A and B are shown apart, each in its own frame.
Chain A
Amino acid sequence: RKEVEQDPGPFNVPEGATVAFNCTYSNSASQSFFWYRQDCRKEPKLLMSVYSSGNEDGRFTAQLNRASQYISLLIRDSKLSDSATYLCVVIVNSGNTPLVFGKGTRLSVIA
C-alpha cells in the first residue's frame, strides 16, 4: 500500500465551481501534512499546511482527520489559474526528515 494515496483525477470543473480533493496516508505516526501545487512542467510549490483544527487561506480550506488518516483540500469559486496538479504531502517524523508525496490530483478549470 502506498504511503500517501490520492485520486489522480483529472477533475474537470467550470469556473466558479467548488471542488474537493481527498488524500489518505498509511502511517499513523505521521505528524505533519501539507498541500503542494505543481503546474505543468514546473516544480512543486507549497500551497498550504494542514492543521488539526483545519485552516483556511482565501478560497482554499484544508482539513485533517487523524482518526481516519485523511486529509482534504477544498477550493471554492475555482479560477482558470487554479488548473494544476495538487500534491498531498506527509512528514512522518519532524526534524527535516523527507517529505512523502502522493501522486497528485490533476485539476482543470474550464471557462
Chain B
Amino acid sequence: GAGVSQTPSNKVTEKGKYVELRCDPISGHTALYWYRQSLGQGPEFLIYFQGTGAADDSGLPNDRFFAVRPEGSVSTLKIQRTERGDSAVYLCASSDRGGGLTGELFFGEGSRLTVL
C-alpha cells in the first residue's frame, strides 16, 4: 500500500500476556519510529530505527518493551508481561532520510492496545 500499515488495529489482552504489534512503513523509507499515545496526550516517543539498527531507544519505558526491524523494513514492537498502564494507541511512523529536517513523519492509523 501507499501508506504506513499497522496491525492489528485493535488488540485486547489480559494483564501479564505477551503482545506483538507490527508496522509496515512506506516503501523506501529508511527511518521508522514508534510512539504511543494515551487519551488526551500527545504522541510519546518510544524508539527510532535508521535502517535495521535502533538509533535511539531512550523512550522505551522499561525492559518489558522491545522492538526489532531485522531487514530494515517491517518492524515489530514487542511488549512482555503487559500491564493495564500499557493501554494506549501505539503509532508507527516512517520518513525518508530528510525527515529529520523536514519534520514530516508519515504515521499509520495505530494499534489500539487494551490491557484488561
Q: Which residues of A contact B (CB under 8 A)?
A: 4, 8, 32-34, 42-46, 49, 87, 89, 91, 94-104
Contacts and interface: CB of A to CB of B under 8 A. Distances in A.
B45 A99 contact: yes
Majority SS at the chain B contact face: mixed
A8 B103 contact: no
A96 to B, nearest CB: 3
Contacts of A99: 33, 45, 103, 105
A98 B45 contact: yes
B103 A97 contact: no
B100 A103 contact: no
B108 interface: yes
Given A96-B55, A96-B95, A103 B103 contact: no
Given A32-B101, A101-B43, A102-B42, A96 B109 contact: no
A33 to B, nearest CB: 8
Nearest to A97: B100
A42 B50 CA distance: 25
Contacts of A34: 103
Chain A CB count within 10 A is highest, among B48, B97, B101, B108, for: B101
Interface residues of B, number: 28
Interface in B70-109: 91, 95, 97, 99-105, 107-109
A101 B42 contact: yes
A98 B103 contact: no
B56 interface: yes
A94 B95 CA distance: 14
Contact of A45 (B35, B43, B107): B107
Contacts of A102: 42
Nearest to B35: A101
A42 B104 CA distance: 16
B42 A95 contact: no
B40 interface: yes
Contact of B40 (A8, A32, A33, A44): A8
Nearest to A50: B103
A69 B96 CA distance: 28
